[in-house]
Amino acid sequence: MTEKSFDALDRVARIQHEWARERPDIDVSPQGVIGRLHRLAARLSDELAVVFRAHGLSAGEFDVLAALRRAGPPFERTPTELAESTMITSGGLTKRVDRLEDAGLVLRRPNAHDGRGRVVALTAAGRALVDEVFTQHMANEHRLVEMLGAPDRRALEGALARWLERLPDNR
- pLDDT, mean of residues 57-69: 96
| Distances 110 to 75, 79, 97, 121, 164 between C-alpha atoms, Å | 14, 12, 15, 10, 37
- Give the pLDDT mean for 135-146: 97
Checking if the pLDDT of 7 tops 80, the result is: no
What is the reported pTM? 0.84
Residue 10, pLDDT > 60, answer: yes
34 sits in which H/E element: helix 30-54
What is the chain's mean pLDDT, rounded? 91
* Angle between helical axes of 124-145 and 30-54 (0-180°, round to 10): 140
Q: According to the model, what pLDDT value does residue 116 have?
A: 80
Q: Given this model, what pLDDT does residue 159 score?
A: 96
Q: Which domains, ranges and CATH numbers included, belong to the chain?
A: 55-166 (1.10.10.10)
Q: Rounded to whole angstroms, how far apart are CA atoms 90 and 92?
A: 5
Backbone φ, ψ for residue 158 (5° rounding): -65, -45
Terminal Cα-to-Cα distance of the chain (whole angstroms) = 43
